[in-house]
Amino acid sequence: MKVKQIVTSALLTALSLLIPITFGGYLKIYIPPFSATLASHVPSMISMLIGPTAAVMVGLGSSLGFLLILGPHVAARAFIHVFFGLAGALLIKKGLSFEKALILTAPIHALGEAIVVLPFGFDLYTAFVVVGIGTLIHHLIDSTVSVGLAKAVSTGLSLSGKKL
């Protein structure tokens, strides 16, 4: 990785830590036992554009952030960010668009989070319907945010609409 990619990956990792720690109370949706922190997938998704190493690094940061705030079962769910991020980065590296990679990684993300909560005592319905479908919806919302953010950054626009 080049220095710019390392620095960008580090910043995305910092964001993946800060989102649950700082904004978890404000951006959190809680439908027991499912919880979702809006925008928490955005750093992992954006990291796919940098490459596989970045995606893994940011996914690990996300896991740590959720471990510190919400405990082991949510951290285990966040650990799936490593796998869907890696898969997405590899798909992009093979030439797929960012949007297609996000769509193709949605089932990996949803099924991964559903499966990983089973050892924590979740029944099949709760794991696959509540957590799995909840994660799928959350993935699609954060994908929309990520695509918009990536397009804004790639065109060189700031939030004010002026060139950087």
Give the relative orientation of helices 52-70 and 3-27 as an angle to the nearest 10 degrees. Answer: 30
Residue 106 located in a structural domain? yes
CATH number, domain containing residue 18? 1.10.1760.20
How many domains in the chain? 1
pLDDT for res 156: 64
Phi, psi angle pair for 31, to nearest 5°: -125, 95
Residue of 51, 65, 43, 130 lying closest to 93 (CA atoms): 51
Residue 71 located in a structural domain? yes
Predicted structure pTM score = 0.92
Domain, as residue range, for 96 = 3-154
Least trusted range by pLDDT, from 30-34, 75-79, 97-101: 30-34
Residue 8 located in a structural domain? yes
Residue 111 located in a structural domain? yes
Residue 161 located in a structural domain? no
Mean pLDDT of the chain: 92
Residue 163 located in a structural domain? no
pLDDT tier at 58, thresholds 50, 70, 90? very high
Q: From CA 87, how far away is CA 12, in angstroms rounded?
A: 18
Check whether 162 has a pLDDT greater than 80. Answer: no
Check whether 163 has a pLDDT greater than 70. Answer: no
Check whether 160 has a pLDDT greater than 70. Answer: no
Mean pLDDT score, 137-148: 97
Residue 164 located in a structural domain? no
**Paired tokens of 17:** 């830590």
Give the relative orientation of helices 98-116 and 72-93 as an angle to the nearest 10 degrees. Answer: 150
Residue 128 located in a structural domain? yes
Check whether 63 has a pLDDT greater than 60. Answer: yes
